[in-house]
Amino acid sequence: SSVNQPPRVIAEEQTGTGASALKMEANVLVMGADNVGKSALTVRFLTRRFIGEYGDIESIYSHSVGVDGREIVFNIWDAPYSQDPSDEDCSEEKRIQWANGFILVYSICDLASFNVVRQQLQRIKAQRDHLGAEKVPVVIVGNKRDLEHRRTVPSEEGRLLALAAGCDFYEVSAAEAHHGVLLVFHGLLERIKDSRVAAKKPAGIKSIVRTMSAVFARKRINSL
């Protein structure tokens, strides 16, 4: 697909109707190195099925689900990895601007793929901070948990990276189970909802006063 146009929607599923007022769209960008299971993770969420082999294909999937009585439309951009981001700066920049939330995937058996996620996280933060956006909804996913015997990235490394970046962290096996993958997408959805609520609330002097009052009240209680 061209740099100026998102790839066409190639899969669509409608599982809920609901009034348009209850409808929410979430643009999700799935990122990570090659062979970490980005497409397998996405397709497991969409279809519950596991498919192990994918070509180097760029796709957007649209998937509608009912969550708490509300229709949620996930637009999921599964983009191939470029080892030289300068080759496609414009394209990656466009994807990052398009997305409401990000799923950064690495393989627990591949330390280099973990370092790719670290770099991608920095680029997302730099670009979205530049745009003056609210806290960016991101989840970090260690995939291939079923291959524990080949693990080279300790769980603690993933947890610490997520903690430092203010992200959620999951370890899953797209090959073995649908449930863990479902938690990833629904966890990101909650973060997107939170970011939209935060964006609508002006910081305002009242909230600052309330915060200061709470701090001083806590200090008084602690000193009693």
Q: How confident is the model over 78-90, as pLDDT tens digits?
A: 988 877 656 656 6
The reply to whether 151 falls in a domain is: yes
Q: How many domains does the chain divide into? A: 1
Residue 1 has pLDDT above 50, yes or no: no
Range of the domain at 194: 9-223
β-pairing, 70-78 vs 59-67, is antiparallel
In a 3-state reduction of DSSP, which class is residue 177? coil
Whole-number average pLDDT of the chain: 82
The bridge status of strand 59-67 relative to strand 9-13 is parallel
Residue 193 lies in a domain: yes
Q: Is the pLDDT of residue 119 over 80?
A: yes
Average pLDDT over residues 18-38: 86
| pLDDT 10s digits, 50-60 | 987 776 678 89
Q: Is 4 inside any structural domain?
A: no
Q: Examine residue 90 and state whether it is found in any structural domain, yes or no.
A: yes
Mean pLDDT of 157-166: 95
Over residues 93-105, the mean pLDDT reads 94
Tell me, yes or no, whether 25 lies in a domain: yes
Scanning 64-146, the segments in alpha helix (DSSP H) are: 89-98, 111-130
Both tokens of 19, joined, read 């009034």
Q: Label residue 71 by pLDDT band (50, 70, 90).
A: very high
In a domain, 32, yes or no: yes
CATH number of the domain bearing residue 120: 3.40.50.300
In the predicted model, is pLDDT for residue 193 greater than 50? yes
Distance separating alpha carbons of residues 189 and 45, to the nearest angstrom? 13
> Is residue 121 included in any domain, yes or no?
yes
In a domain, 87, yes or no: yes
Rounded distance between C-alpha atoms, residue 57 and residue 43, angstroms: 13
